[in-house]
Amino acid sequence: MKALTILGYGDTKSNLKFQEVDKPTPKENEVLIECHAASINPIDYKIIHGELKAISKLTFPARIGFDVSGVVAAKGKNVREFEIGDEVYSRTPNPGTFAEFITTGSSYVAPKPKNLSFKEAACIPLAGITSLQALTLAQMKEGERVLIHAGSGGVGSFATQYAKSKGAYVITTTSTSNVNWVKALGADEVVDYKKQNYLEIVSNVDIVFETLGGQYTLDAFKVIKDRGRIVSIAEHIDPISAKEMGINKILRIILGLKEKKLMKLIRSKDAFYRFVRLQTNGRDLREITTLIEEEKIKPIIDTVYRFEECITALQKQESGRVKGKLVIEIKR
C-alpha cells in the first residue's frame, strides 16, 4: 500500500516521501481501517521539524498523520463493537493516517457521524477531543465567560462551537476577514486582532483556552478573574503536566527553571493552570458524534487536497493561513 513517510528531521518538502509499505494486519484488539480521508494538524509539521524530539524521538522512515475517517476492513478476534464495513473515524495514538490503510486499537475508534461525509468527519477527531478535554479539565460551566484564541483555526473553530453547546459565553480573537464568519459559529464577542488589542477589551473571564503560546499564555493572567482557569495547548508546560506526560526528572527541572515567570503569575492570581496533552479515546469521540448529529457542531473545511498533494497541504498548514481544517482525500 502507499503511505507518506518522514525520512528525517528538517524542512517539510525535502523530508517527506511516498513509499510502498506492507499493508498492516490488525492485532486481537485492533481494527484495520481503509482510509478514505485524513486531516492535517499543526503537530504534523512540528514532528517533521523535530520540535517534539524531547517527548518522542522518531525512528526513520516514520509515518505521519493522526486524524482519519474510513471503513473497517478487518478486525482482531477480540473486537466486538465494530463490524467489517462500518464507517468510523479516529484520532489514532500513533501516526500513520496519511496512508491507504492503518491499524489502531478499537478503543480509539468511534462510529462516523451519520450526517457527515468522510471528508467532513476527518476534520473532527484531534481538534474535537482536544477542545473537549481542555474545557472539561477547566471545569467549564454554563454561563461562564471563556476566551478562546484563534477562533478561525482548526481547534479554535471547534472549541468555539463546543463551548457554546455547553452554554458558555464565548469570546474569541481572529483577523478582520474572519470576524463575521466566527460570529456565525456562535461566538458572543469577536475581537479583530488586526484592529484591536484584546487586552484592552477583554477582562474578568473565568477561563482562557490558550492555543497560541508564547506571550499570549502569560498575558492570559491579565484577563482572568482571581482564581480563574487557564488551559493551554501551546508551550509553557507546568510541573504537574510535565510529570503526567512522563518527561524525565532532569528535563522537568529545566522546565521548572524556564517557567519561573509562569509559576509566579499562577500564584499571583491563585489561578488554575494546566498544559493539555490530548489523551485519545473513542469515548470522547462518541460524545462529539452525538453533538454533531444533534447539529450543535459542524466541521469547518478550508481546502480538500488529493492524496498525492499531501506535502503541498502540509506546507499550507505551516503558513498559518488556514480557516478551519485542511483535508486529504485518500480514497475517491
Provide the pLDDT for residue 332.
82
User: Which pTM value belongs to this model?
Assistant: 0.92
pLDDT, residue 294, reads 96
- A 10 A CB-CB count for 287 gives 15
Backbone phi, psi, residue 319, to 5°:
-65, -25
Indicate if the pLDDT at residue 246 is higher than 70.
Answer: no
**Rounded mean pLDDT, 7-32:** 95
DSSP 119-147: HHHHTSHHHHHHHHHHHHHTT--TT-EEE
Dihedral sign from CA coordinates of 217, 222, 223, 225:
positive
SS3 293: helix
Confidence category of residue 234, pLDDT binned at 50, 70, 90: confident
C-alpha–C-alpha distance, residues 203 and 330, integer Å: 45
* Extended beta strands in the chain, E state: 2-6, 16-20, 30-40, 62-63, 67-75, 87-91, 101-105, 109-111, 145-148, 169-174, 189-192, 205-210, 224-232, 272-275, 301-306, 325-329
User: Could you tell me the pLDDT band of residue 262, with boundaries at 50, 70 and 90?
Assistant: confident
- Work out the percent of the chain whose per-residue pLDDT is above 90: 82
- Listed range (228-232, 258-262, 296-300) with the worst mean pLDDT: 258-262
Average pLDDT for 217-232: 95
Greater model confidence, 275 or 135: 135
Mean residue pLDDT of the chain comes to: 92
- pLDDT at position 217 over 60: yes
Q: Report the C-alpha gap between 208 and 201 in whole angstroms.
A: 14
How far is residue 229's CA from residue 324's CA, in Å, rounded to a whole number?
26
Which domains, and CATH codes, for the chain?
2-124+299-329 (3.90.180.10), 127-275 (3.40.50.720)
Judge contact between 50 and 94, C-beta under 8 A.
Answer: no
**What's the pLDDT at 90?**
98
User: What pLDDT is stored for residue 53 in this prediction?
Assistant: 80
